[in-house]
C-alpha cells in the first residue's frame, strides 16, 4: 500500500510537471519561452473532455524534446488575462510565441495538437537543401507549398503570408535543382503547390492575392470532412462543397476530374453534424451541396446511384434549376439562434444535469416569484382601491341624506 501511494504521488508530480497551472503572473514570465496554453472553464463539458488529451500533449512534447512548454489557465478565475489574449469561448488553445498569439482551430486530438505546436513553434519557412529532402517532404505531406528562386518581392510576400498561415500548413523554400525532371516551372521565382498527384503554379494576375490562393489550395480535392474542416473551408472562400454523407460509391469520385477546381469534395461519417448544420434531418447515405457564400444547401430530388445522376445534380445547382434550402435570411437567422440556444441548453444538461438545473432552474424560479409578487400586489392594490371607492360613495350618500334636514337660514331685520 505504501509503495502504491509513493508511485501515485510520483505520477501526480510528473503530470503536474508536464502541464503547468498558470496564474496572473504568466504575463510577465511567458516572453522568453514558447507556450501552448489551454484556456478553460471549470463548468465547461468540452474542457473536461479535453483535459486527458491535454496531459497527453504535454507528455508527448516533453518526451520528444520540444521547446514548447504546455500550460492551462482557468479563464473564469483570470478573466483579465483571458480578455488580453482574445479568449471568447472555452476551451481555447493558443500558441504564444514572443508577441504573437496563434489560435488552434483543428480537431482536439493529441496528434493534431502536437503537430500544430511543432509546426508553429518553428520557422515560418523551412528550407529544403537537397533533392532527397524534397522527395521526403513530398511523401510526408499531402499538400506541399514551395517557393523556388532567390531573393525577390515575391519571396517577401511568401514569408509574410507563411507567418500568417503557418497555423494551417507548412511552407518551404528550395532551389530549382531539387525538382524532378517531370516538373517544369514557367518562370522563376515561383510559388508552387504539389497535391493530388499534380502541381499548380501561383499566377498573381489570375489567382489574385497570394494568401487567398494558398487558403484555397491548402486542401486536397477530396478529403474526409468534419466540423473543423468544414468551418475552415467556409473561411477560404470556397463556394460549393459537395459532401458525401457516408461514402456512397468510389466510382462516383471519377466526377472530380470533370468539374471546376472551385468545387471542394469530401465525405462525412454519420449525419449528426450535418443535421445540426442544416437544422434538419439527412438520411444516410446521402449527398448534399453546401454554398458557403450564402449558407444555402441543395439536396437531390431523387436518389443518386449513378455517375450520370450525380453530374445532373451538380449541373442543376450550377445552372440554378435546383431548389435551394436554408440561407442567411432573417427567418433562418432567428431559427438558428433558437436552434443554437436549444442545443446549448441540452449540451449543458447532458454534461452536468445538476449544473444545468442550477443555471436555468434558479433564474426561472426567481422570475416566477417576481411575476407572482407583481400580480398579487396589483390584485391587492385593486381591491383596496375598490374598497376606498365604495367607502367614498357611502359617505357621499350620507351627505346627500343630511342636507334636507338642515334648518333654513333666517334673515333678521332690526328697525330702530
Cα separation, 353 vs 153, in Å, equals: 58
Task: Note the maximum CA span of the chain.
Answer: 152
Nearest one of 287, 296, 292, 286 to 320, comparing CA atoms: 296
Which residues are tagged catalytic?
A: 44, 47
Contact 233, 264 (CB under 8 A): yes
* DSSP conformation class of 252: G
The DSSP element (H or E) to which 59 belongs, if any, is helix 45-63
Cα separation, 28 vs 212, in Å, equals: 36
| Cα Rg of the chain (Å, integer) | 35
The 10 Å CB-count burial string (b at 16+, else e) for 44-66 is beebeebeeebbbbbbbbbeeeb
Report the relative pairing of strands 198-201 and 190-195 from DSSP bridges. Answer: antiparallel
Sheet with 100-103: strands ordered across: 20-21, 68-74, 34-40, 92-97, 100-103
- The neighbouring-strand residues paired with 145 are 171, 193
- The neighbouring-strand residues paired with 198 are 195
CA dihedral 160, 164, 167, 168 (to 10 degrees): -80
Amino acid at each position: 500500500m505504501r509503495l502504491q501511494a509513493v508511485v501515485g504521488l510520483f505520477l501526480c508530480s510528473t503530470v503536474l510537471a508536464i502541464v503547468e497551472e498558470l496564474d496572473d503572473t504568466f504575463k510577465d514570465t511567458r516572453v522568453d519561452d514558447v507556450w501552448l496554453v489551454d484556456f478553460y472553464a471549470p463548468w465547461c463539458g468540452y474542457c473536461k473532455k479535453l483535459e486527458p488529451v491535454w496531459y497527453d500533449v504535454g507528455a508527448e512534447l516533453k518526451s520528444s524534446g520540444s521547446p514548447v512548454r504546455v500550460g492551462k489557465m482557468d479563464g473564469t478565475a483570470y478573466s483579465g488575462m483571458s480578455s488580453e489574449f482574445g479568449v471568447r469561448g472555452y476551451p481555447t488553445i493558443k500558441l504564444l510565441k514572443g508577441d504573437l498569439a496563434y489560435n488552434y482551430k483543428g480537431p482536439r486530438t493529441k496528434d493534431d495538437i502536437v503537430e500544430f505546436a511543432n509546426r508553429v513553434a518553428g520557422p515560418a519557412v523551412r528550407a529544403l537543401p537537397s533533392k532527397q529532402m524534397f522527395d521526403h517532404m513530398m511523401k510526408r505531406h499531402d499538400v506541399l507549398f514551395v517557393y523556388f528562386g532567390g531573393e525577390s518581392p515575391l519571396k517577401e510576400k511568401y514569408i509574410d503570408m507563411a507567418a500568417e498561415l503557418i497555423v494551417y500548413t507548412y511552407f518551404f523554400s528550395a532551389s530549382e535543382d531539387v525538382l524532378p525532371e517531370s516538373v517544369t516551372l514557367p518562370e522563376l521565382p515561383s510559388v508552387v503547390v504539389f497535391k493530388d498527384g499534380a502541381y499548380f503554379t501561383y499566377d498573381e494576375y489570375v489567382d489574385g492575392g497570394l494568401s487567398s490562393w494558398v487558403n484555397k489550395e491548402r486542401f486536397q480535392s477530396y478529403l474526409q470532412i468534419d466540423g473543423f474542416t468544414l468551418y475552415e473551408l467556409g473561411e477560404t472562400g470556397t463556394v460549393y462543397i459537395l459532401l458525401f454523407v457516408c461514402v456512397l460509391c468510389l466510382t462516383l469520385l471519377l466526377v472530380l476530374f470533370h468539374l471546376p477546381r472551385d468545387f471542394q469534395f469530401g465525405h462525412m461519417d454519420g449525419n449528426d453534424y450535418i443535421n445540426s448544420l442544416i437544422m434538419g434531418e439527412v438520411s444516410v447515405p446521402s449527398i448534399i451541396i453546401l454554398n458557403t457564400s450564402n449558407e444555402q444547401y441543395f439536396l437531390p430530388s431523387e436518389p443518386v446511384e449513378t455517375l450520370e445522376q450525380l453530374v445532373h445534380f451538380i449541373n442543376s445547382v450550377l445552372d440554378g434549376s435546383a431548389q435551394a434550402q436554408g440561407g442567411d435570411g432573417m427567418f433562418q437567422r432567428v431559427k438558428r439562434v433558437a436552434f443554437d440556444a436549444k442545443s446549448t441548453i441540452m449540451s449543458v444538461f447532458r454534461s452536468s444535469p445538476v449544473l444545468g438545473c442550477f443555471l436555468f432552474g434558479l433564474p426561472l424560479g426567481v422570475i416566477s416569484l417576481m411575476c407572482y409578487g407583481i400580480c398579487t400586489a396589483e390584485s391587492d392594490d385593486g381591491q383596496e382601491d375598490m374598497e376606498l371607492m365604495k367607502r367614498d360613495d357611502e359617505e357621499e350618500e350620507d351627505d346627500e341624506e343630511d342636507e334636507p334636514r338642515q334648518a333654513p337660514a333666517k334673515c333678521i331685520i332690526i328697525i330702530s
